[in-house]
Structure 1
Amino acid sequence: MLAGIGLFGLLDANSKLLSAEYGVWQVQLVRFATILSGVALLRAVRPGWGGPLSTRFPRLQAARAVVMLGSATFFFLAFSRLPLAEGYLVFFTSPFIVLVFSALFLREPPPAAAWVWCGVGFAGVAVGLAPSLLSGGTGAPLMGYVFALCGTLCYSAVFVLNRSLRHEGGIARVLVWPALLGLAVMLPLGLADWRAPSAFALGQMVVNGFIVAAATVCLAEAFRHAAASRLAPFGYSGLVWSLAFDLGIWGHAPGGAMLAGAAVVIFACVMSERAARR
């Protein structure tokens, strides 16, 4: 779970860099083409790699493909308009949404302590971003927050669907069906919006495909081993990645409030996991 969150943080940073010159449809088109090409190559070298492509739950697989496409698109649009830290403020509502979804649809009522520590983690995020929000933020448009919220809803739905499909193992299913839907949707849009990329930019787009494939597998495997309510609070670890990338790439140094909020978030993640384990 932690590895998957870290990879998605890297994906968001790389996508934000690409969004300065290239549209969402083109970047997504290369991403899904890369995933399908990679799976096809692996299965050609090692027949049957990743397990069967058939599924006993076509509706759940289709639903997961739809919300994964929505999550990828909305977060790309959000981070093209927002700094990573501000976008992650909206994203960190995901543990609450996952807890509600898991209770409603999975019949996995979370322990009371998980709710408490999720609340503490969210309070840490609020502390970290309070100075920016109280000063009016960075002037990011409202649509950036709307896109971040839509992406968060889709991302939370992926959590629940991963848990519902935990008994149907195999990497190939997890990668191929969402990528096929994404390629079908993005092919006409991406070609219409195509802008000849530099070799470096094309490499970034291809790397995005490998990153999202690895992150998707990590999350799917995480939910084969633990309940959604136990894993959801670990989403707060993304705050550490957003701070690191903001500083390392864009030179946005975190203030004292941001560091204090990050410490609260990490502590809440650890305590929530311990409570769920007991």
Structure 2
Amino acid sequence: MLSALALFAVLDANSKVLSGGYHVSQVLAFRYAILLILLAGARMARPRAGGGLASRRPWSQVLRAAFMVGSGAGFFLSLRELPLAEGYLVYFTAPFLLLALFRLLLKEPVPASAWGWCAVGFAGVLVALWPGLSAGGAWVAYGWGLFGSFCHAMVLVMNRSLRDEPGMARVIFWSAIPALPFLAPWAAVEWVTPSWGDALALSANGVLAGGATLCLASAFRHASAGRLAPLEFSALIFAVIADVTVWGVWPPALVWIGAAIVAFAGVMAQRRSTAH
């Protein structure tokens, strides 16, 4: 889970850099095309590398792919306008959504303490975002962030639901095959020919997304939402590092205060989930 969050942070920072010159459809189409190329190359070098491709639940796989596209698009459009750390604080609504969805859709028990600490973490998010919310200037970006967070939570629900269909190849194949035909026509209309450097950055998105997807799928085969959801809050560390090192942006004081509340709630929720 922590590896997935680190990879997603690098992916989001890379996508934020690309968002100034490329449409979301092109960035995502490039990502899924690279995933398929890597999978094809691995299986040419070693037949059946990563396991089988067939699925007993293809429509569930397609649904997961749709939510993955929604998550990628939501975060891309949100982070185009927001600093990475601020965008991630919007994303921290996802653990709360995740616990609710696991309880409602998968009927998995969630300790009351995990609910409570996620609520505290959500309060920390509101503290950090209050200046932007009160100014009213970033509502659209926040809205895209919330949409991406909901889709991300649904991806994790689908990962848990599909834990009986493991394997690297199956996860990558069923992520890319439904998404690419949907994105390709849109990307063709919005196409901007990238420089060699940007082509490498676009390709890197595919590698990063593939690694993060595999880590997430593996995590939710082995542990419940109550155990994993609080770890989502640790992504803030990676976001702040990216903001400082890439853009030279230090979060303002309220963001640090909110982040401290979020981090404390995440640690406490993790401790209580482990105890249960």
Establish whether TM, by shorter chain, passes 0.5: yes
Cα deviations across residues 54-101 of structure 1 (Å, max 9, x unaligned)?
011122111111111111122112212222233223211111111111
Partner of 1:52: 52
The within-5 A match list for 1:223-242 is 223-242=220-239
Partner of 1:99: 99
Gaps of 5+ in 1: none
The within-5 A match list for 1:35-184 is 35-134=35-134, 136=135, 139-140=137-138, 142-184=139-181
Query: Which amino acid letter does the alignment assign opposite residue 82 of structure 1?
Result: L
Residue 133 of structure 1 deviates from its aligned partner by 4.2
The whole-number CA distance in structure 2 between the counterparts of 1:40 and 1:157 is: 27
Q: Indicate whether 1:260 and 2:257 are aligned.
A: yes
Preserved contact between residue 102 and residue 229 of structure 1 (Cα < 8 Å): no
The whole-number CA distance in structure 2 between the counterparts of 1:232 and 1:217 is: 17
Q: Indicate whether 1:216 and 2:210 are aligned.
A: no
Residue 131 of structure 1 deviates from its aligned partner by 4.5
Partner of 2:198: 201
The within-5 A match list for 1:14-53 is 14-53=14-53
Report the TM-score when normalising by structure 2.
0.94
Query: Which amino acid letter does the alignment assign opposite residue 143 of structure 2?
Result: V
Residue 44 of structure 1 deviates from its aligned partner by 0.7
Residue 185 of structure 1 deviates from its aligned partner by 1.3
- What number of residue pairs does the alignment pair up? 275
Q: Which moved more, 1:215-224 or 1:50-59?
A: 50-59
Residue 159 of structure 1 deviates from its aligned partner by 1.0
Partner of 2:189: 192
Preserved contact between residue 16 and residue 76 of structure 2 (Cα < 8 Å): yes
Q: What SS class does the counterpart of residue 107 from structure 2 fall into? A: coil
Residue 123 of structure 1 deviates from its aligned partner by 2.5
Report the TM-score when normalising by structure 1.
0.93
Q: Which moved more, 1:79-88 or 1:34-43?
A: 79-88
Preserved contact between residue 28 and residue 69 of structure 2 (Cα < 8 Å): no
Instruction: Identify the match of residue 272 of structure 2 among 262, 275, 278.
Output: 275
The whole-number CA distance in structure 2 between the counterparts of 1:94 and 1:23 is: 25
Query: Which amino acid letter does the alignment assign opposite residue 114 of structure 1?
Result: A
Residue 260 of structure 1 deviates from its aligned partner by 3.4
The whole-number CA distance in structure 1 between the counterparts of 2:270 and 2:251 is: 26
Query: Which amino acid letter does the alignment assign opposite residue 257 of structure 1?
Result: L
The whole-number CA distance in structure 2 between the counterparts of 1:99 and 1:58 is: 25
Q: Percent identity?
A: 47
Instruction: Identify the match of residue 245 of structure 1 among 242, 247, 262.
Output: 242
The whole-number CA distance in structure 2 between the counterparts of 1:175 and 1:253 is: 36
Q: What SS class does the counterpart of residue 78 from structure 2 fall into? A: helix
Q: Which moved more, 1:199-208 or 1:74-83?
A: 74-83
Query: Which amino acid letter does the alignment assign opposite residue 235 of structure 1?
Result: E
Q: Indicate whether 1:12 and 2:12 are aligned.
A: yes
Gaps of 5+ in 2: none
Preserved contact between residue 85 and residue 251 of structure 2 (Cα < 8 Å): no
Residue 125 of structure 1 deviates from its aligned partner by 2.7
The whole-number CA distance in structure 1 between the counterparts of 2:154 and 2:143 is: 17
Cα deviations across residues 134-187 of structure 1 (Å, max 9, x unaligned)?
5x27x33x3222221111111110111111111211011111111112211121
Preserved contact between residue 102 and residue 160 of structure 1 (Cα < 8 Å): yes
Query: Which amino acid letter does the alignment assign opposite residue 228 of structure 1?
Result: A
The whole-number CA distance in structure 1 between the counterparts of 2:226 and 2:164 is: 18
The whole-number CA distance in structure 1 between the counterparts of 2:131 and 2:146 is: 21
Preserved contact between residue 240 and residue 262 of structure 1 (Cα < 8 Å): no
Q: What SS class does the counterpart of residue 222 from structure 2 fall into? A: coil
